[in-house]
């Protein structure tokens, strides 16, 4: 049994009275510990696929089964819902990433605080913890949300273009950190990325989509296909 199994998945959005098919008959299996990158042009349905896996958008047909606890999945969205003028500090936001649905009353325990501290160090946001989230730069906010996503030590980490708007140096340290998580703790990584260099360097598998799956296989096969034309 693979970690994520997707069969005949179709997703449509209702726009006015019309149903527009965004994803058409996808089939995918992702194994534990893989580092999978999703590529494709703008509007090809990459974010929609992630959202369907996370249960954020309903799907019209097919089956998605995820063989780990829901609380072991973490997500870094392409655009977060957090409003700029929302009064919350960086540390409040990161700590909230430790919440899961296993306890009914979500009080933070000592362990949660340690996990958050660890994530803060890994994401390099130590100096920001007391700041108000809304006053940070876009790149800093992204790092904070990254810390929130990794702090509960997820089994599956789903990221949607995590490095857009970051300078190259920070992007590289991001990818290195992801790679470390993937190698050391066997965190399965499923990431939408436009950064071909990092895909080449770290990904074990590549999914290319454009409404349908155009390619799904190892990174080497994908590169070969691209150079062969």
Partner 1 sequence: MVKNENGWLSYMSINEIIEILSYPFMARAIIVGILISLCASLLGVILVLKNYSLIGHGLSDVGFASISIAVACGFSPIYLSTPIVILASFVIMYISQSKKINGDIAIGIFSTGSLALGVIVTAISNGLNMDVYAYMFGSILSMNNTDVFMSIILSAVVLTLFILFYNRLFIVTIDESFAKSIGINIQFYQFLISLLTALTVVIGIRMMGTLLISSLIIFSAFIAKKFVRSFKSLMFLSATISILCFLIGVLVSLLLNIPTGASIVIVNIIVLIISFIISKISDSISLCKN
What would the two tokens of residue 209 be? 């989509």
Alpha-helical regions (H) of 160-214: 168-185, 196-202
Give the whole-angstrom CA distance, residue 80 versus residue 4: 24
CA proximity to 165, closest of 189, 197, 128, 136: 136
Q: How far apart are CA 46 and CA 53, in angstroms?
A: 11
- The token pair at 98 is 């430790």
Strands 205-210 and 61-66: unpaired
**Interface positions, 14-33, toward ligand ADP (CB under 6 A):** 15, 22
Q: Which of residues 17-46 bind partner 1 (CB under 8 A)?
A: none
Minimum CB–partner distance for residue 84 and partner 1 (Å): 12
Inter-residue contact 134 to 84 (CB < 8 Å): yes
70 binds, among partner 1, ligand ADP, Mg ion, none (CB under 5 to 8 A by kind): partner 1
Residue 13 interacts with partner 1 (CB under 8 A): yes or no: no
Binder to partner 1 among 3, 11, 38, 54 (CB under 8 A)? 54
Q: Which of residues 73-92 bind Mg ion (CB under 5 A)?
A: 78
Binder among 1, 42, 58, 85 for partner 1 (CB under 8 A): 85
Q: By three-state DSSP, how is residue 116 classified?
A: helix
Helix axes 138-150, 168-185, angle to 10 degrees: 0
89 vs 172 by CB, closer to partner 1? 89
Q: Which of 35, 37, 48, 91 binds ligand ADP (CB under 6 A)?
A: 48
Please count the other Cβ atoms lying within 10 Å of the Cβ belonging to residue 14. Answer: 9
Which of Mg ion, partner 1, ligand ADP, none is residue 71 near (CB under 5 to 8 Å by kind)? Answer: partner 1
Instruction: Indicate whether 93 belongs to the interface with partner 1 (CB under 8 A).
Output: yes
- The listed partner (ligand ADP, partner 1, Mg ion, none) that binds 93, CB under 5 to 8 Å by sort, is partner 1
- Contact flag: residue 59 with partner 1 (CB under 8 A): no
Residues found near Mg ion in the complex (CB under 5 A): 47, 78
Residues found near ligand ADP in the complex (CB under 6 A): 13, 15, 22, 40, 42-48
């Amino acid at each position: 049994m693979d970690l994520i199994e997707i069969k005949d998945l179709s997703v449509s959005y209702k726009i006015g009275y019309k149903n527009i098919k965004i994803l058409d008959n996808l089939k995918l299996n992702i194994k534990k510990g893989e580092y999978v990158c999703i590529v494709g042009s703008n509007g090809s349905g990459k974010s929609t696929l992630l959202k369907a896996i996370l249960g954020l958008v309903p799907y019209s047909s097919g089956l998605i089964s995820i063989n780990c606890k829901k609380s072991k999945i973490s997500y870094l969205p392409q655009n977060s819902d957090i409003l700029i003028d929302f009064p919350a500090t960086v540390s409040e936001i990161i700590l909230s990433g430790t919440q899961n649905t296993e306890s009914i009353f979500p009080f933070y325990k000592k362990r949660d605080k340690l996990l958050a501290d660890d994530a803060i160090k890994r994401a390099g946001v130590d100096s920001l913890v007391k700041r108000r989230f809304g006053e940070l730069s876009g790149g800093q906010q992204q790092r904070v949300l990254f810390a929130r996503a990794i702090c509960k030590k997820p089994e599956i980490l789903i990221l949607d273009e995590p490095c857009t708007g970051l300078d190259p140096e920070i992007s590289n340290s991001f990818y290195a950190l992801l790679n470390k998580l993937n190698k050391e703790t066997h965190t399965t990584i499923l990431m939408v990325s436009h950064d071909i260099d990092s895909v080449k360097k770290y990904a074990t598998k590549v999914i290319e989509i454009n409404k349908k799956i155009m390619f799904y296989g190892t990174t080497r096969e994908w590169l070969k296909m691209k150079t062969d034309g």
